[in-house]
Chains A and B, each alone.
Chain A
């Protein structure tokens, strides 16, 4: 048996083992987020969010608060220059008077304009669709801030202290929603989704858009939904229902 064959066999055996049912309805592969910890993120997965605005209450900012806590975003008392990774947007149809509200953050586009315009390659898209900033190469030019149609990127204007170990942040670089990539790599959901679910709102669903069996894919099939600025054909990872 050649080395290649043996490797192929081991890979198949590992995949078969990962698929073994631990208990009815729970498989090891589900718990591990479909990826072993030492395996690189792959294009088989496309992380995304579904926001159901029918369940999102005007005035509720549980997701925004959770994001700030998780990522160590501090309130300096100067909201015009503070970094904003996620914000609540209230919409009102002036003719009918219908009001609704939704959180807007980085839409994790498949064709991200921020990546197109970045002169240093700092703005990049991970294989599993999460759009990030490599702050080691970011020069703070803010082209991405201008290019993003969703105003999802923020520039850090002031020195930052008391950062979280998983979320490095520093003056002179651009940042935005990371989809809580440090949590996603552990197999957890983003902090905003966790907070929304824990509070019983259930307005946010996180999951793999490529997996037809995932909760998000099933909800996307049930609910009429759309992408913000769908006319730009960015193929966003965040979908909205009821806007």
Chain B
């Protein structure tokens, strides 16, 4: 009787742990593919939290003052983070779009701005 109880206990434990493991993998995560590892213009935590603010500040300085030297430009993001397969930061696996789709934040930058770096655009366009 005691042996049966032990076996049942082990079986229950196994089922629970399996369910836990399966549950962990069921949580959706955004795909963040970094193809060119190295130092970003700011620390990862800063970029995750504040990239939109940095982009807005850079945008106003570039457009209104004509200062194009600061590193926080959208073109700079695209230059580094465009996928080598699609040449773009958009698409389901794209650096920008995968996270924005996950967070449910509308990404309208690329309705006007180029989602491909200059070289890729030169190769495919024209």
Q: A residues near B, CB below 8 A?
A: 37-41, 69, 72, 124, 126-128, 132, 134-136, 159-160, 162-166, 168-171, 173, 181-182, 184-186
B119: nearest chain-A partner, CB-CB: A165
Q: How far is the CA of A134 from the CA of B68 in the complex (A)?
A: 16
Q: How far is the CA of A41 from the CA of B66 in the complex (A)?
A: 6
Which residues of the partner chain A approach B67 to less than 8 Å between Cβ atoms?
37-40
A134 touching B63, Cβ below 8 Å: yes
Taking the nearest CB of chain B, how far is it from the CB of A223, in angstroms? 29
- B124 at the binding interface (Cβ < 8 Å): yes
B108: nearest chain-A partner, CB-CB: A170
B112 touching A162, Cβ below 8 Å: no
Q: How far is the CA of A175 from the CA of B111 in the complex (A)?
A: 15
B112 touching A166, Cβ below 8 Å: no
Which residues of the partner chain A approach B124 to less than 8 Å between Cβ atoms?
162
A162 touching B63, Cβ below 8 Å: no
Q: How far is the CA of A181 from the CA of B126 in the complex (A)?
A: 21
Which residues of the partner chain B approach A163 to less than 8 Å between Cβ atoms?
112-114
- A sample of 14 cross-chain residue pairs with beta-carbon separation below 8 angstroms, ordered by A number, consists of A39-B67, A40-B67, A124-B64, A126-B65, A127-B65, A132-B63, A134-B63, A160-B112, A164-B118, A165-B113, A165-B117, A166-B75, A168-B112, A169-B112
Chain B interface residue number, banded: 20 to 34
A171 touching B117, Cβ below 8 Å: no
Q: How far is the CA of A41 from the CA of B69 in the complex (A)?
A: 13
Q: How far is the CA of A92 from the CA of B28 in the complex (A)?
A: 69
Q: How far is the CA of A37 from the CA of B67 in the complex (A)?
A: 6
Which residues of the partner chain A approach B125 to less than 8 Å between Cβ atoms?
72, 162
Which residues of the partner chain B approach A39 to less than 8 Å between Cβ atoms?
67
Q: A136-B59, A162-B121, A162-B125 given as contacts; is B113 within 8 A of A168 (CB)? A: yes
Most buried by A among B61, B69, B124: B69
A39: nearest chain-B partner, CB-CB: B67
Which residues of the partner chain A approach B75 to less than 8 Å between Cβ atoms?
165-166
Most buried by A among B69, B75, B111, B124: B111
A126 touching B64, Cβ below 8 Å: yes
Which residues of the partner chain B approach A184 to less than 8 Å between Cβ atoms?
66
Which residues of the partner chain B approach A162 to less than 8 Å between Cβ atoms?
114, 121, 124-125
